[in-house]
Every structure is written in C-alpha cells, then in structure tokens.
Structure 1
Amino acid sequence: MEPVLTMQQMVRRSGVEASALRYYESLGLIAAERSGGGQRRFPRSMLRRVAFIVFAQRVGLSLDEIGRELAKLPTGRVPKGEDWSRLSENWTSRIDERIAELRRLKAGLTDCISCGCLSLDQCALSNPDDRAGRLGPGPRYWLGQRSMKTL
C-alpha cells in the first residue's frame, strides 16, 4: 500500500495552501482518501500531481487544460517519469510564446514610461493619429503589431 500524507503534510511538502488542495480535489485533479474521522489522506503520489498542476499553471495552462492532461495519465498505477515527460513534451512552443509575449509587454511598458502620456489614443510617438486603432481592438502593440508604416 502506498504511503499517505495528511493535509498538513501535503501543504508543507507541496507548498500549496490547503484551500487550493481542496479545490483541486473538488475538480478531480487530485484525490484523497478519508480516515475513519473523515480527515483527508493523500497518497504520496499526489505530490507529483500537485507539482505538475503548479508548473502547468505557470506555463499558462488553465485548470481545465490541466485536467485534460492529467486524464491522459495511466490508471491503476503510479505514473512514472516517462508518463510525466510525455505530458509536457509539447510545452516548449507554449513557453516560447509566453517568453515572446513578456518581451513585448516589457518593450511596451518601457515605451510608455519613456513617453509619459500613457495614452495610445494621444501618444504622438507610439501611436500618431491613433493608427493602432485601425489594426483592430485590443493591445495591438503588445500583440506584436508595431509596424504602422503601412497605414
């Protein structure tokens, strides 16, 4: 039988608050058994699932996406390293997209701070005559659409 951890032990070992663990359990992302007194007892293998959830959220996956990924794990046995690797092998492109987005945000923030107006509607340097508005709704510059010369 697999060793079990109390809620306190899970919190201490995972670094995740008890309320989040209960929420993950309610979503079916992790599972716990109940003691005779109704207290949660987590199989030790749930630590790896919690680590996966935390990492996947930082990559940008939603809890629904994480649930779909976790559903791909084998049932009837504790997942092995290759099982976890298979889940994350397609994340490289998502991480690269995230890095590019953060670089755009950083560049946009620097441009706005150096200008001082903080208004793309009025900014004569970054958006003369509100040219960005012609590209469509949303933060066009942050989405990587910087070229206004064609407008």
Structure 2
Amino acid sequence: MKIWVDADACPNVIKTILFRAAERVQIECILVANQLIAIPPSPWIKRHQVSQGFDEADNYIVDQVAESDLVITADIPLASDVIAKQAIAINPRGEIYTKENIKQRLAMRDFMEQMRSSGENIGGPESFNHQDRAAFANALDKLLMKMR
C-alpha cells in the first residue's frame, strides 16, 4: 500500500500530517506535482515532479495507483478514476470518496462549472480551517488502521 498525494493544491498542513503518518506507520507517501515540492528527509516520503500541463499530476497518479492505495486529492474527476481502480480517495477536508457518493460529487462539480461559465458568481469553497485539518487527520488515522 502507498499514499499518493495530488500535491500541487494540497494544503501544507495536510502534507505535514501525511509526513508524520508515513513515518509513524512506515508507509510510502509519494507527492506528485508539476512543481518542486519540499519534503523532509525520510525513506518513506518521496516526490515525483511531472511536466507542466493540465492534469499531468492526475494522469501520473492514475497510471501508478494500485488497488488498496490511498490517494489524497480535492480533484473529483481524479477521485473517480482512483475509485474505478479499486483504490481509496480522500480529500484534504477528510471526506472519503466512495462508489456511492462519487457520481453525485461529479454531477455537482459539473453543475457548478456550468454556473460559473454562464457568468454566475457562486463563490468558491470555504477557507480551510482547523476543523478541516482535524477531520482529515481523524479520517486518515481510521483509514490507515483499517488498511494495515
């Protein structure tokens, strides 16, 4: 089992939680981004830099992910692809994507995209906060315990 991180937009506080978890349970954690991501020295933490371009990191993760791997992403289409490969996806706010909820999330994402493209000002997601961090840490711990 490995942890894959869609690292370009992943909050730094979530990366720190992942670094600690990788060390604690001795599981490989790979951050994938199209920019150089700073990581601490560890045999368990790695990074992979992809070329600049739309969805390059997502495509790399989908190509590499295996059944039962864990992917950290807020990207709903990536989460859908990960689930299709029998892997697990969780967003930085601690929400676990499942076969049961991913279609609804994709439909809502597409609807919001249509609203934005028609000129509607619908705002964006709420600011990342302490409750989001705690929800992620709790969900990650539960997943890691279940998967080990």
| Structure-1-length-normalised TM-score | 0.28
Which structure: greater helix fraction?
1
Specify the structure having the higher radius of gyration (Cα): 1
Q: Which has the higher strand share?
A: 2
Q: Which structure has more RCO (C-alpha within 8 Å, separation ≥ 6)?
A: 2
TM-score (norm 2): 0.29
